[in-house]
Homo-oligomer: A and B are copies of this chain.
Amino acid sequence: MQKSYVRGTWQQKRAFSPCVITQGAGRTIYVAGHTGQVDDAGKSLAGDFDAQFHQTFRNIEKTLAEAGAKLSDMVTMTMFLIDARYTTRMTELRSALFGTDFPASAAITVQGFAQPEMMIEVQGIAVAD
């Protein structure tokens, strides 16, 4: 499987790629919407956006690990946020998380999620050998 990035210009500062291209035999991993309103010990993370962001991606990483894949295999994500004012902070956290090879992504502010404590939900696709 081959993967390449169209990296854009300003998009790198927002920690996403305008597009990611895959080709050839690989596994496509359809990743459900993940959230992070409680930590691994079951403690509520209500009201703490940074903590929910990190927990959400820890949860995604666990799911990907069960599929034999890792976070850097993500090729596209939709980041659903509870408030548009978290968008810039989200991109800062995402930059630290992904480093240089960013998935394609959209950042959408929505009305709500399954539970009122949720502040972020991330759905996407990973492609791995």
Contacts and interface: CB of A to CB of B under 8 A. Distances in A.
A103 interface: yes
**Chain A interface SS verdict (over half):** strand
B106 A84 contact: no
**Copies of chain A in the complex:** 3
B32 A27 contact: no
Contacts of A127: 28
Given A6-B63, A63-B6, A63-B19, A33 B110 contact: no
A34 to B, nearest CB: 8
B27 A105 contact: no
**List of 9 A-B pairs having minimum Cβ-Cβ separation, nearest first:** A33-B106, A30-B76, A32-B104, A109-B112, A106-B123, A84-B112, A18-B63, A87-B114, A109-B111
